[in-house]
Structure 1
Amino acid sequence: MTILAAKLSVVRIPIAAGILRLQSWPSIKPSVPFIPQQWPDFFHCSVSPAGNSSVTPSERRENLPSTSVTKKVKRAAKDVGYFAIVLAGIALTGSILYTIIQELFSKKSASGVYDDAFKICIADNRVLDVFGSSIKAHGNPNSRGRRRNIVHDSWYDDKGRLHMAMKFYIKGNLASGIVHLEVVENESKEFGYRYLIVETEGGFSKKRVVLRPLSEAVNSD
């Protein structure tokens, strides 16, 4: 213990002497001005998102289509769609009108054959003597319109000719009756009568007027 205490006393003396020496040393101010730390240029770099290091956000926005262009494209697509709908409606209306016109005015339609046969009937004096002067035609006995429910049938024969058979009703102030007829295409593709017969309704007192006999048929077999 005595030896350890002696060593510690020896250590204290140099430490104390050092403290005194520092206190008596005059203060020295640095003569060199302070130089701020500056990093070399190669340490300064900008960090960009991965995969797009050469494209800035502003450039990326410029590459995107503008809102006005997108709206114009959508509006143009809508206009094209509306135009297509209008064209389809016009085409459908045209086809319907064409069908109606063909049905009403074509001589080869059911209405055309019906009108032609009725004109032949009311122009014949034999028909007027039997049925009277004021004769009206109907598609069936219960209908009021002339062209409603016209009973007819169409077919092609083995020679490719179109046939049409028809039956309609007439009524005058003296009697009522039924008109039977058949037409067939001729060489010029026009209808000609194979037969046209008018007969009154009734039993044994039935009268018949043959307007186009079968012997006068056009292109008959």
Structure 2
Amino acid sequence: MLRSLSTLRFIPKSTTRCRPFSTPARQVPKKTNALGVQTVKPWSELSTPQKVVVASKTTVSLGVIVAGVTLTSAIVYYIGSELFGSQSATSIFSDTVDRIRKDEELIAVLGEPIKGHGEPSRNSRRRNRRITSQVVEDHNNEPHLFMKFYVEGPENQGTVKLEMIKNEKKKWEYKTLYVDVPGHGYNSRRIYLERK
């Protein structure tokens, strides 16, 4: 076996002939930038069908952007007016609970601190309970806001009901506001805060 290896002749690399590989020619786009990304042709170099396609794509993209901005603005406005507007149900609920917390008779009956909440729930994990409110028009087409929620203190609890109407400035004002407090062994009480 050693003899067969010794008879082999080594050919230096410089004298070896290699057949060049044949690779297909790469097709390079006509207009490319330094990174090899195809660039957009100027408007003047486009044919009429290409101009129609580019204009259509631009119009559709612009329409989607405008629709998205409009929808987002409407959602933000609605949420902002509902949460922070002085005429929203949330704001009216907060204002009413503040008035109840300042009433001496209710403080004496319910105790302190007084908390307000929506419909009672048996689920202790459910903290955000819905406040029931409704706007109804009377026979004169005047809107009336009706709301019902609950308050409780360490000594007792009560049901709050209110009715509001719009004044000359189109702002809600109280027509009636009262709290029904059940009596434990006594008669239940209705305590009025507003009555017109």
TM-score by length of 2: 0.66
CA distance in 2, matches of 1:109, 1:156: 17
Pairing 1:166–2:142 present: no
C-alpha offsets along residues 155-212 of structure 1, whole Å, 9 cap, x if unaligned?
1223332101110011212222110110011222221211111122456532332111
Pairing 1:210–2:189 present: no
CA distance in 1, matches of 2:84, 2:140: 27
Match of 1:187 among 147, 150, 168: 168
Q: 2:172 corresponds to which letter in structure 1?
A: F
Quick one: percent identity of the two aligned structures? 33
Q: 1:92 corresponds to which letter in structure 2?
A: L
Deviation, 1:121, is: 0.7
TM-score by length of 1: 0.60
Question: What is the SS of the residue equivalent to 1:196?
Answer: strand
Match of 2:108 among 102, 113, 129: 129
Mind listing any 5+ residue stretches in structure 1 that lack a counterpart?
A: 1-65
Quick check: which has more Rg, 1 or 2? 1
C-alpha offsets along residues 54-97 of structure 1, whole Å, 9 cap, x if unaligned?
xxxxxxxxxxxx99434444233212211111111111111111
CA distance in 2, matches of 1:106, 1:158: 28
CA distance in 2, matches of 1:112, 1:87: 32
Pairing 1:200–2:181 present: yes
Mind listing any 5+ residue stretches in structure 2 that lack a counterpart?
A: 1-43
CA RMSD of aligned residues (A): 2.2
Q: 2:100 corresponds to which letter in structure 1?
A: C
CA distance in 1, matches of 2:116, 2:80: 21
